[in-house]
Amino acid sequence: MLLEVKNLAVSFSTYRGKVKAVRDVSFSVDEGRTIGIVGESGCGKSVTAHAVMGLLPRENSIIEHGKIIFKDKDILKLTEAEMNRLRGNEIAMIFQDPMTSLNPVLTVGTQLTESLFLHKRLKKDEARQKAAELLKLVGIPSAEQRLDDYPHQFSGGMRQRVMIAMALACEPKLLIADEPTTALDVTVQAQILALLKDLQQKFGMAIILISHDLGVIANLCDDVAVMYAGQVVEYGSAEEIFYNAHHPYTKGLLKSLPRLTDKKGEPLSVIEGQPPDLKQAINFCPFAMRCTKAMRICAVQMPAVTAVNGGHYVKCWLEHELAPKEDF
């Protein structure tokens, strides 16, 4: 096991009170495997990733409890100096928006060579040569010349490739990709996904892919964790999640996907209602108020995790053998 997240809970202090953004999240990823974390905006996907990277804002974030075990070490117990040696070296991240993640006043070459100086202790000429090789690896032409260009001189897709090159500079064991295809057109999106697949095979790294796009998740992932209101409500292999989904929320997400067989003018399926307020204690199924199959017990008690079959788990009273079905 390369990474294991156990019962992670993260909250934020705000002027309106404490927001419990992540609640008892657990998942794992092995070397060479890809896990997708999917869910609508605000469900806790990116907060979970930032917790793994140790990038949560110090001034208002609180890790209530849980463990993040990477290569048999609990990341949450490491000092900042130890995290700096790990971050960007063995664990790397592709951030959501490359335009705001890249420094606009530094050349791409300067930003690419930073981690090579820090972690690999390369000399200036060696680092520049390695940076050019990385740009070639991610499909950027005239790599040597482009090292002296600034981020605004690259297109959106090229900037994303630069972010991937920066993340791969030290050949990490774990790559976290936080919505790496956001705001890219479908052609560039397909190129980025194909690139990630190729690079994973080349380096043998594990990937955590965060997205609200189920098509992206289906294309790249071995396992899938479906998050809702800061919790993992369903977890299993990609095949199980897409062809044998059990949680009503997962089914709702899959139904909302547009299909070629949809009739012209037919409205898309939507999940009615709003997610619960994460400032409040949620001692019941968080999806109960939006679920068309909710029972009385759903509104008063948190469902237990039920094993559907090997490796497929769901947090829903509909699947629990002790749930009173007559309450339908």
Residue with tokens 């068309």: 292
- Please, how many CA atoms are within 13 Å of residue 304, restricted to the half-sphere of its CB? 7
Residue with tokens 């309106």: 16
Question: Looking at residue 250, what is its pLDDT?
Answer: 96
In 177-245, where does DSSP find H-type helix?
Answer: 186-203, 214-220, 238-243
Contact between 146 and 133 (Cβ < 8 Å): no
Question: Looking at residue 264, what is its pLDDT?
Answer: 79
Q: What tokens appear for 17 in the block?
A: 């009170």
Q: Could you give the CA distance from residue 253 to residue 282 in angstroms, rounded to a whole number?
A: 22
Q: What is the pLDDT along the chain (328 residues), one digit of tens a residue?
A: 899 999 999 999 999 899 999 999 999 999 999 999 999 989 999 999 999 999 999 899 999 999 999 999 999 999 999 999 999 899 999 988 777 889 999 999 999 999 999 898 999 999 999 999 999 988 899 999 999 999 999 988 889 889 989 998 998 999 999 988 776 778 878 888 888 888 898 888 999 999 888 888 988 999 999 999 999 999 999 999 999 999 999 999 999 888 777 777 788 888 999 999 999 989 999 999 999 999 999 999 999 899 988 889 999 999 876 555 444 3
How far are the Cα atoms of 129, 148, 178 from residue 162, in angstroms, in the given order?
15, 13, 15
Listing DSSP states for 9-47 in one string gives: EEEEEETTEEEEEEEEEEEEE-TT-EEEEE-STTSSHHH
Backbone φ and ψ for 268, nearest 5 degrees, come out as -70, 150
Beta bridge partners of 91: 87, 174
Determine how many CB atoms are found less than 10 A away from the CB of residue 105: 7
Q: Which CATH number fits domain 3-90+170-257+268-327: 3.40.30.10, 1.10.3720.10, 3.30.750.24, 3.40.50.300?
A: 3.40.50.300
Question: Looking at residue 321, what is its pLDDT?
Answer: 61
Q: Could you give the CA distance from residue 45 to residue 60 in angstroms, rounded to a whole number?
A: 18
Contact between 224 and 35 (Cβ < 8 Å): yes
Angle in degrees, CA 291, 5, 318, rounded to 5: 25
Beta strands at 91-94 and 223-228: parallel, antiparallel or unpaired: unpaired
Question: Looking at residue 303, what is its pLDDT?
Answer: 93
Question: Looking at residue 187, what is its pLDDT?
Answer: 81
* DSSP secondary structure code for residue 87 in this structure: B
Q: List, as own/partner pairs, every contact residues 201-206 make where C-beta atoms lie below 8 angstroms and the sequence separation is at least 24, other chains included.
A: 203/168, 203/171, 203/172, 204/31, 204/32, 205/31, 205/32, 205/171, 205/172, 205/173, 205/174, 205/175, 206/2, 206/3, 206/29, 206/30, 206/31, 206/32, 206/33, 206/34, 206/35, 206/173, 206/174, 206/175
Q: What tokens appear for 243 in the block?
A: 């062809």
